Amino acid sequence: MDTIEKTAQFIMGTYKRLDVVFEKGEGLYLFDTYGNKYLDFLAGIAVNILGYSHPVIVKSIKEQADKLIHISNLYHIKEQADLAEFLINKSVLDKAFFCNSGAEANEAAIKIARLYGKGERYKIIAMENSFHGRTMATLSATGQKKYHKGFEPMLEGFDFAKFNDFDDFKSKVDDSVCAVMLELVQGEGGINLASRQYIRDLYSYCKENDILLMIDEVQTGMCRSGKLFAYEYYGIEPDVVTLSKALGGGVPIGALLAKNKVADYFKPSTHGSTFGGNPFVSSVSLSVLEFVTEENFLAHIEDMGNYFLDGLKNIAKDKKQIESVGGIGLILGIHFKNPKDADSLVQKAFKRKILIGKAGDSSVRFEPPLIVEKHHIDEVLNFLKEVL
Ligand SMILES: Cc1ncc(COP(=O)(O)O)c(C=O)c1O
C-alpha cells in the first residue's frame, strides 16, 4: 500500500488533501517522492517562515535534542523563560502562557477573559468571517456558520460584529461583554485587512469601557506582516495577543501574551498544558525569532511584501474576474468575484508545481516563507499573468 492508500484506509477524513507526498524540502522548495520540485507559497499554512532545512532551525533542533526535549511544567524551564523574556521585551504585553497550537492559545484567551469578567461579564464579541480554531470554545468564537454545522449548540457567550464596522461593534456591546477578539488580517476568512481607523476606534472604546482587546495573531504574528506583531502597525496596546503557527518555525507551539491586569488571573490550577513551552519547542522558537527580528531581515520582508503586492495589483487592474487584491507584508490575497475562479487558480498552480491556498470562499492566499526572494515572486507573478 502506498501513502495515499494508507491515508485513505487508516486516517480519518478530516482533510481534503492534494495527491502528493513530500519527502524533503530546501529553502522555498519541496520535493515529492518522484523527485518533482514545488515552489511553496503557502509555507505549511503560514508556519515555515524560514522555509525548509534552514540551518538556524536544524542547528537548534539538533542541539536541544541532545540536551532535553520534555520535562513538564512541574519544574522551571530555562528555554521557556528565555523565550518568554524575548517575547515580552519585544511586545507591549507583560506575561506569557505557552501551549501547542493556535486553537489552544485562543482557548486560553477565552478562559482568561471570562476570569477577568468575574462571572458577571462573560460575553466575547468576535467578528463575522473570523477564524479562531476548532475546539468548541474557539469554534464558538469563529464567525463562519459553515464551521459550526453539526456541532451545535455552540458555547454560550459569543456575539458577532461586522468586521471593519465600528458602529456595528458598539451596537453589540452590553453589560455582559468582557472582551472583543479579532484578527487584524482575517486569514481563513479571505485575507481581509482591518482598517487603521477601525482598530484605533476599537482600542479607545475598549480602554474607556474596560473591555479587553484580544488580538489573534496566530496567522499574522512573527513578522509575517512585516513587523513582529501586526498590531504594531495600528499604534495600539492590546490586552491579550495569541500566537502560534510561525512561532516555532515548524515545531508546534502556541502562546498567550497578556498585560499584567489580565495575566494575574491565571493562577495554579486555573489553566495548564502538559507539553506547553517544553525545552525543545521553546529553544527552537527562540532561535527562529532571533533570526527573523534582525533589522535587515524585517526590511527584507517589507521589500518583498511591497514588490509582491505591486505585482499583484498590476496583474489585477485589467482583470474583470478579480474583485481586489489585498493584505500586508507577506500575507497577501487575490479576491475573486466568483468562488470557482479561486478553486481553479489553486488547481492550476498545483499543476504548475506552485503551492498556494484558498482563503474564505473566493480568495486565494500567498504566504511564502519569509526568506522569499524576488526571483521566486517573479515566478509566481509570471504564472499568474499567464493563467489569469
Ligand atoms: C487566526 C487563526 N487563529 C487560530 C487558528 C487555529 O490554529 P490551529 O490550527 O493551530 O489550532 C488559525 C488557523 O488557521 C488561524 O488562522
DSSP assignment of 220-277, as one string? TTTTTTSSSSGGGGGT---SEEEE-GGGGBTB--EEEEE-HHHHTT--TTTS--SSTT
Q: What is the pLDDT of residue 234?
A: 98
* Three-state DSSP state, 113: helix
Give the number of other Cβ atoms within 10 Å of residue 152's Cβ: 8
pLDDT (tens digit per residue) in 54-69: 999 999 999 999 999 9
Mean pLDDT within 121-130: 98
Backbone angles phi, psi at 10, to 5 degrees: -110, -10
Please tell me what DSSP assigns to residue 109: H
Backbone angles phi, psi at 349, to 5 degrees: -65, -45
219: CA distance to ligand 1 center in Å? 7
Query: What domains, with CATH codes, occur in the chain?
Result: 3-54+296-387 (3.90.1150.10), 57-292 (3.40.640.10)
| Reported confidence tier of residue 275, pLDDT bands at 50, 70, 90 | very high
Return the best residue to mutate from 134, 140, 245 for the ligand 1 pocket (most ligand atoms within 8 A of CB): 245
What lies within 8 Å, CB to CB, of 268 at 6+ separation is: none
Ligand 1 pocket residue status of 112, Cβ below 6 Å = no
216: CA distance to ligand 1 center in Å? 9
- Please state, in angstroms and as integers, the Cα–Cα distance from residue 171 to each residue in 152, 168, 177, 214, following that order: 25, 5, 12, 19
Ligand 1 pocket residue status of 218, Cβ below 6 Å = yes
Give the number of other Cβ atoms within 10 Å of residue 321's Cβ: 15
239: CA distance to ligand 1 center in Å? 19
pLDDT (tens digit per residue) in 20-65: 999 999 999 999 999 999 999 999 999 999 999 999 999 999 999 9
Q: What is the pLDDT of residue 9?
A: 98
Q: What is the pLDDT of residue 294?
A: 93
In 61-73, which positions are buried (b, 16+ CB within 10 angstroms) versus exposed (e)?
beebeeeeeeeeb
Chain centroid to Cα 234, Å, comes to: 18
Chain centroid to Cα 230, Å, comes to: 11
45: CA distance to ligand 1 center in Å? 9
Return the best residue to mutate from 14, 139, 188, 243 for the ligand 1 pocket (most ligand atoms within 8 A of CB): 188
Ligand 1 pocket residue status of 142, Cβ below 6 Å = no
Pairing of strands 177-182, 212-216: parallel
The protein residue with its alpha carbon nearest to ligand 1, atom 3, reads 132
Provide the sign of the torsion angle of the four alpha carbons 169, 212, 292, 133, taken in this order. Answer: negative
Rounded distance, CA 154 to CA 142, Å? Answer: 10
156: CA distance to ligand 1 center in Å? 21
pLDDT (tens digit per residue) in 333-371: 999 999 999 999 999 999 999 999 999 999 999 999 999
Q: Give the closest residue to 141 by CA, choosing from 168, 116, 174, 105.
A: 105
Ligand 1 pocket residue status of 354, Cβ below 6 Å = no
Q: Give the closest residue to 246 by CA, choosing from 200, 292, 196.
A: 292
Strand order in the sheet with 22-26: 22-26, 29-32, 37-40, 354-355
The whole-model pTM stands at: 0.98
What mean pLDDT, rounded, does the chain reach? 98
| Reported confidence tier of residue 157, pLDDT bands at 50, 70, 90 | very high
174: CA distance to ligand 1 center in Å? 28
